[in-house]
Structure 1
Amino acid sequence: MRRPLLPQDLRLRLVAAFIAVAALSQLHDLATAAIALAGVCLIALGSGIERTLWRRLLHVESFVLLLFLTLPFTVSGTPLLTLGPLTASSEGVARAALIACKVSASVLVLMTFLGNVDPTRLGAALHALRVPEAIVRLFVLTVRYLSLIRGEARRLHEAMRARAFRAGSNRHTWRSYGYLIGMLLVRALERAQRVEEAMRCRGYNGRFPHAALPAPGTRDWAAFAGLSGLAVATLLVDRL
């Protein structure tokens, strides 16, 4: 799916996402961070981000909610709320809001830029950016086989339920889950060995074949410059 506000070249998109997240992580002013979050939301809407990716953001917001429930009580400052021996400070609320804006904006940047990118294409882009081959190989294989391991865990759990297993807070439950994790690791190791043997039979020599990527177009460079410029400008405004 084409996203008009983003570079179509994955190399530039990766670098732009890195610059944006790095700039967001260095913000210190709450107002600037809130404006940055609003800007990222507008870019996400303008880029046609899918509804499923918006739902993934809810997992991050649960962490943000936990942050608002704990951080105000651990930062000293002007008392805002007292609950027994605990006192929440306005400085703590402000810091929690700052972190929430930065985390939400950073996650939304990554989902907008890379949310629906095929792992194989992403691996090729990382390789083109001179990321070490071992890291690229580990990333591609992890993404490729994570779903298979998850399916294996689901089948093992269904087999336990078929044998009338019911989870509880007792020794039998924890021992059963220990056996489940151990069996999952054993089967994952066996699958990894079979995959390695199959790859070697096909002439694998420690490096994935990567075709040379075409040079980025003018539009890609313009989108990259615009997004990176916005990220740097936001950081500069925060420092003023």
Structure 2
Amino acid sequence: MIRESFAEGNSWIHGIDPRLRVIGAAAFAVVVAVSYDFTALFIGLILSLCMVLSARLDIRAVAQRLLAPVIFLLLLWAVLPWSYEGDALAALGPVTITRQGVTLCAQISLKTVCLMVAFMALVATMTVDTLGHSLNRLRLPDKMVHLLLITYRYLFVIEQEYQRLVRAMKIRNFHPKTNLHSYRTYAYLVGMLFVRASERARRVHSAMICRGFHGRFISLRSFPRNPLNLVFGLGIIISLALLIMLEWVK
């Protein structure tokens, strides 16, 4: 099962209505994504960090989850500044670094880190099933919610099937090499994994129908009222208004 360490906390952010957190995260993402003013982006980053501190998340774990996007951003910084057309900022031999390329890289970097941190504080602090039921209460299409919940539920089952097939290959003394036999073996592995996943899906669907499933998950989960919901909602509205003013009101 996927470990949801951020959802195990007990901060006041964890007690906020998940539906409100989803709406807040989506609205914050839209505003930050369309912002280009560096003041607005830096304020957004500060707000994201404040959310992380309010959720009492492990800073080391947050940094580890940021490692993958940071590597992608480093690749972006290695290519975009000299390949983007614009005014010359500096020259390194035959390579010219443009001001517009550096600016674009900085904007993309700030937006990426800001949104990743905000989603870790608001969305990763709830379990996947809570997220699914929250989306269902927000009237998102049932099929999207079902796909999310079932994918999460059976992702680790498919991983177990994969490990079982790999062990069977090792028992048969398979040693991967750069030859046609190894490539063919891995192709068989992927094909068998899809076959077993399809067969498991058919059995699960039949079992669900036998238990009265009619295309909709019934959830007994309730989202009790919390006096801090109003505080959180007002905070999100004020934060978004501030970012909009910094970006569009000059």
- Residue 97 (1) aligns with residue 106 (2): yes
- 2:29 maps to which residue? 21
Q: Does the CA contact (< 8 Å) of 2:14 and 2:126 recur in 1?
A: no
SS of residue matched to 1:48: coil
Distance in 1, matches of 2:33 and 2:49, equals 17
Q: CA 1:22/1:131 → structure 2, altered by over 3 Å: closer, same or farther? A: same
The share of aligned pairs that are identical, in percent, is 32
Which stretch of structure 1 is more off in the superposition, 151-160 or 228-237? 151-160
In structure 1, list runs of 5 or more residues that go unmatched.
none
Partner of 2:5: none
Aligned to 1:183: 192
Q: Describe the shift of the 1:154–1:83 C-alpha distance in structure 2 as closer, same or farther (beyond 3 A).
A: farther
- Answer with 60-69 or 32-41: which moved more: 32-41
Distance 1:84 1:26 in 2: 35
Following superposition, the deviation at residue 229 of structure 1 comes to 2.3
Structure 2 residue aligned with 1:208: 217
Which residue number in structure 1 is paired with residue 154 of structure 2?
Answer: 145
1:156 and 1:180 in contact (8 A); partners too: yes
* 1:9 pairs with 2:17: yes
Give 1:120's aligned residue: 129
- Structure 2, unmatched stretches of 5+, are 1-8
TM-score (norm 2): 0.86
Q: Quick check: 2:37–2:246 contact (8 Å CA) kept in 1?
A: no
Q: Tell me the TM-score normalized by structure 1.
A: 0.89
2-structure distance, mates of 1:220, 1:7:
9
C-alpha displacement at 1:2, in angstroms? 2.9
Cα distance, 1:102 vs. partner? 0.2
Cα distance in 2, alignment partners of residues 6 and 30 from structure 1: 30
1:197-236 deviation digits (Å, cap 9, x = unpaired)? 1111211111111237346433212212202320232132
* Alignment partner of 1:225 out of 231, 234, 240: 234
Considering only aligned residues, what root-mean-square deviation do their CA atoms show, in Å?
2.2
Displacement of 1:33? 1.3
Count of residues in correspondence between the two structures: 240
Q: CA shift at 1:136, angstroms?
A: 0.9
- One-letter amino acid of the structure 2 residue matched with residue 48 of structure 1: R
Give the 3-state SS of the residue equivalent to 1:181 in structure 2. helix
CA deviations 1:61-90 (Å, max 9, x no partner) are: 111111111111221123345456543212
Retained in 2: the 8 A contact 1:7–1:224? no
Q: Is the 8 A contact 1:53 1:115 kept in 2?
A: no
